[in-house]
A and B are shown apart, each in its own frame.
Chain A
Amino acid sequence: MSKRRVIPGFGLSMGFTITYLSLIILIPLAALFLKAARLGAAEWWEILTSPRLIAAAKLTFGASAAAAAVSTVFGLLVTWVLVRYRFPGRRLLDAMVDLPFALPTAVAGITLTAIYAPNGWIGQYLEQWGIQAAYSPLGVFIALTFIGFPFVVRTLQPVMEDFGSEYEEAAATLGAGRWTIFWRVIFPMFIPALVTGFTLAFARAIGEYGSVIFISGNLPMQTEILPLLVVSKLEQFQYEAAAVIAAGMLIVSFVLLFFINLLQRRLNWQNR
């Protein structure tokens, strides 16, 4: 190193951080990929194209995307209200948004099931309409929306707070109505943050386990999600198959993470 560092502790913090990161995260993840790589391409193909896995993947990605989309719409509404308006109970509303972060997933799972079960608080009314919420793909969607919601709000909130009123004022002086201003001026500025929030909620939903398994009913080919399939392979001592499915899920997650990082960079640039 050419430049002398003024503040002490570089060697110590670097050494500890890298060692700990390697032991806890990098080596175990590498072991997973090594385990999966023990199987040949043909076996990978066989595992990844089995009908049960394809059904689970369809449900996982489909429900996650739908849940993230609904979270984004609700998230936009709630963030708008939180940032733009002042009203009694605003701080309470703001604190409530984090509830799905703080509530353990198993607790969320059993309580959502209790609410949406055929005799539950909401489930009984849905039942009258002939809609089965718990123990169906709809239940998976409900749980994943619950989990993903805060990601959208917490991503959008700082962006909306920094958004000055000068653009709106300029648009208003040019004769634009409130509705036009929202769709043509304000909304386009929030698109990167909304996409980031959507992607975060989506990525989280793909891996979600605890809140889903109680409400989904876990029927193979029907309401089984990918993480549950990993667990069931593990319980049958099919370690390699579990590792292959997990490796596939990780690759998808890493691609999403990379995409989020790109977007985040764009966001920072935009806010500068």
Chain B
Amino acid sequence: MPHRSVTTESPWVRRLLIAAAFVVLSLFLLLPLAAVFAEAFRKGWEVFLASLHEEAAFSAIKLTLIAAGISVPLNTLFGVSAAWLVTKFRFRGRSLLLSLIDLPFAVSPVIAGLVWVLLFGAKGWFGPWLADHDIKIIFALPGIVIATVFVTFPFVARELIPLMETQGSDQEEAAVILGARGWQIFFRVTLPNIKWGLLYGVLLCNARAMGEFGAVSVVSGHIRGETNTLPLHIEVLYNEYQFSAAFACATLLAFLALVTLGMKTAVEQLTGHQSSNHK
């Protein structure tokens, strides 16, 4: 028997609290996840496969991949650049910049879509000019991409900034003294140090980009087979009471979420804990 310590509870209280935590998380988080798969397979494998093997589902998956394929690299580039700026240099307005990077977290997804409609929509600031030049942004792919970029803006930067802050600049400074050039320093010294954090930031950004609903829903126009991303396709199916089909498509996104969480745990193992502190 271990000693009874003054800084912990009696074994019974401990077991009770652990059990309570398991019950809370299972009922609250695990049950919804299980329900996605249960509902998807309610009518059997054939219906499940048929729902995915459909023209509208294919085009939704394709559009989701394209939108994420453009917005994630852009925000990765920004995240690296912003993290480099904020952690390697001290300058005036630095803490203001840090707050501004966090800003999209405080903006409702609906508003993240609305701002682009106000700029590029038919009645927006640039609407008439765009119409004259026959350029479509809202209710088309460019709108979906910029709305996704807005929403996923801070993810990579948020992941890298605390990591690079704790690592400091000693190694980069040593590299400068040894005569390394700018990009050489980044690729040979910094990148190997931040690669796991960067990978996780990119994964998180990607998961959010593929799953974004509110912002994309405002700018997409819901044109079936054309401007429906996977989450929007799920909404359309659900509103048409095709529940099994809606949940079948939802399993794809739920699976993506599970992979992202698994990678997070793996990255934390590799880097020895302390990866992210989401905001």
Contact = CB atoms under 8 A, between A and B. Distances in A.
B145 to A, nearest CB: 11
Interface in A76-110: 77-78, 80-82, 84-85, 87, 89, 91, 93-110
Interface stretch (B46-54, B103-111, B191-199): B103-111
A94 B7 CA distance: 22
A261 interface: yes
Contact of A85 (B17, B32, B182, B279): B17
B131 interface: no
A112 B169 CA distance: 46
Contacts of A8: 176, 181-182, 185
Contacts of A165: 7
Contacts of B231: 104-107, 210
Contacts of B29: 96-97, 99-100, 146, 149
Interface in A1-27: 5-10, 12-14, 16-17, 20-21, 24-26
A155 B279 CA distance: 8
A59 interface: no
B118 A7 contact: no
Nearest to A203: B106
On chain A, which size bracket covers the interface?
A: 35 or more
Given A28-B150, A230-B110, A253-B106, A97 B214 contact: no
Interface of B is mostly: helix
B23 to A, nearest CB: 10
Per DSSP, chain A at the interface is helix
Interface in A46-85: 74, 77-78, 80-82, 84-85
Interface in A196-210: 200, 203-204, 206-210
Interface in B254-270: 254, 256-258, 260-262, 264-265
Given A104-B211, A104-B257, A207 B17 contact: no
A9 B265 contact: no
Contacts of B107: 29, 207, 250, 253
A207 B22 contact: no
Nearest to B251: A107
Interface in A122-149: 122, 145-146, 149
A104 B18 contact: no
A32 B33 contact: no
Given A8-B185, A102-B260, A239-B117, A246 B21 contact: no
A118 interface: no
Interface in A213-241: 214, 227-228, 230-231, 234, 237, 239
Nearest to A13: B85
Interface string A182-200: 0000000000000000001
12 contacts: A16-B78, A28-B119, A29-B103, A106-B253, A112-B32, A122-B27, A151-B278, A203-B106, A209-B217, A227-B110, A231-B217, A261-B99
